[in-house]
A = this chain, B = another copy of it.
Amino acid sequence: MQTFRVELGARAYPVHVGVHLLDEVGKLALEAGLHGGRVALVTDANVGPLYFERVADALSTAKFDPIRIQIASGEGSKSLAMVEQLYDRMVEGRLDRNSAVFALGGGVVGDLAGFAAATFLRGLALVQIPTTLTGQVDSALGGKTGVNHRQGKNLIGAFHEPRLIVADVETLTTLGEREFREGLAEVIKYGAIMDATMIDDLERDLPAIMAREPRPMEEIVERSLRHKATVVERDEAESGLRKILNFGHTVGHAIEASSGFGHYLHGEAVAIGMMAAARLSQTYAGLRAVDAERLRALLKMAALPVEMPSQWASENFASALNLDKKRSGSNIEFILIDRIGHALTYKLDSEQIIAELSAD
């Protein structure tokens, strides 16, 4: 097990990455200062049958009394209607201010249960137990919680840091191929924006990671989370530095929104978005063609898509681009890289982005 702390002053919290950790959740939660007693354990229909009992047992052993809430799997559950159902269950279960919410699952469970925790009784303690690669390397850390509005992803949400993250990499062995690979997009992102050596290492280690060998998985999850922690520690509210984490996400979100949520997995859309950002980086930030090519090769090694979808240049795409939260006035704050391992913010408008991506 590897452990480090996310240093956020009075709200600092521990992160544990390793194997067999699901059975330690209760003990780790007590060590992190949580109160025993009534808590909510939220998961989805994919993860529930695999791990619900194990985590519930681990909690009971440590004197927690979990109420179990299982939601439908998939992005469709990230809705205000589903949050309302969680509130109902939390009221029924008589959670009080000392109660905690444990989010056991992927990004959807983490975002949804996190938002419910952020907004029930003006904020309950939250424990993230991510079971997907995307959750473990990205979404569990940093406090972003929320649900979708029909006009756009994550338009409704709040910042609410967890009190503890437990990433058991064994859970990654039960992921489907496509779901596992999408998480690699976020891993590659950290290399692209802040760690050139990580790109070298991934070029060497990706086969072992893709074979789901525990040790390389543990290493890459821990390294990714530490990078994210470094960024979040310096700029929790995303007023500056943290924006670099959006590399690939502005175009990625617009692809997701305009092709109908669910057509691409988030990480797949981000992979395409990173290549779009690399192209814009060549034009506006002097990224060398050979470095864009390295990124492309690595994404392809991870079996991720790298080309814009056919007929992407729709009105829906443009309007999704403009609705993105990273918008400030009429300009879009776009993240570019001038070399591998170094990101910068650049203001572009949607016409510039679309023109560049449309050019031969």
Chain A positions within 8 Å of B, measured between CB atoms, are 37, 80, 84, 87-88, 91, 94, 96-98, 115, 118-123, 144, 146, 149, 151-152, 154-159, 323, 325, 327-329
Inter-chain contact B325/A97, CB cutoff 8 Å: yes
Supposing A96-B329, A325-B97, A329-B96 touch, asked if A157 and B122 sit within 8 A by C-beta, the answer is yes
Q: Contact check: which of B88, B121, B159, B327 meets A157 at CB < 8 Å? A: B121
A80 CA to B120 CA, complexed, in Å: 12
In the assembled complex, which residues on chain B have CB atoms less than 8 Å from the CB atom of A152?
91
Other 4 A-B pairs with CB < 8 A, given A96-B328, A119-B146: A91-B155, A96-B325, A97-B328, A119-B157
In the assembled complex, which residues on chain B have CB atoms less than 8 Å from the CB atom of A80?
80, 84, 87
Inter-chain contact B158/A119, CB cutoff 8 Å: yes
Inter-chain contact B96/A149, CB cutoff 8 Å: no
Inter-chain contact A155/B97, CB cutoff 8 Å: no
Inter-chain contact A159/B325, CB cutoff 8 Å: no
Q: Contact check: which of B120, B156, B323, B327 meets A155 at CB < 8 Å? A: B120
A194 CA to B122 CA, complexed, in Å: 25
In the assembled complex, which residues on chain B have CB atoms less than 8 Å from the CB atom of A329?
37, 96, 98
Inter-chain contact A158/B37, CB cutoff 8 Å: no
Q: Can you name 8 A-B residue pairings with CB atoms under 8 Å? A: A37-B329, A80-B80, A80-B87, A91-B152, A97-B328, A119-B157, A122-B158, A122-B159
A91 CA to B156 CA, complexed, in Å: 10
Query: From A91, which residue of chain B is reached at the shortest CB distance?
Result: B151
Supposing A84-B80, A151-B91 touch, asked if A122 and B97 sit within 8 A by C-beta, the answer is no
Chain B min CB distance to A219 (Å): 31
Inter-chain contact B91/A149, CB cutoff 8 Å: yes
In the assembled complex, which residues on chain B have CB atoms less than 8 Å from the CB atom of A155?
87, 91, 120-121
In the assembled complex, which residues on chain B have CB atoms less than 8 Å from the CB atom of A37?
329
Listed from nearest, the 7 A-B pairs whose CB atoms lie closest are A122-B157, A91-B151, A96-B327, A121-B325, A119-B158, A122-B159, A119-B156
Inter-chain contact B119/A119, CB cutoff 8 Å: yes
In the assembled complex, which residues on chain B have CB atoms less than 8 Å from the CB atom of A159?
122-123
Chain B min CB distance to A132 (Å): 22
Inter-chain contact A144/B157, CB cutoff 8 Å: no
A123 CA to B156 CA, complexed, in Å: 9
Query: From A96, which residue of chain B is reached at the shortest CB distance?
Result: B327
A96 CA to B326 CA, complexed, in Å: 8
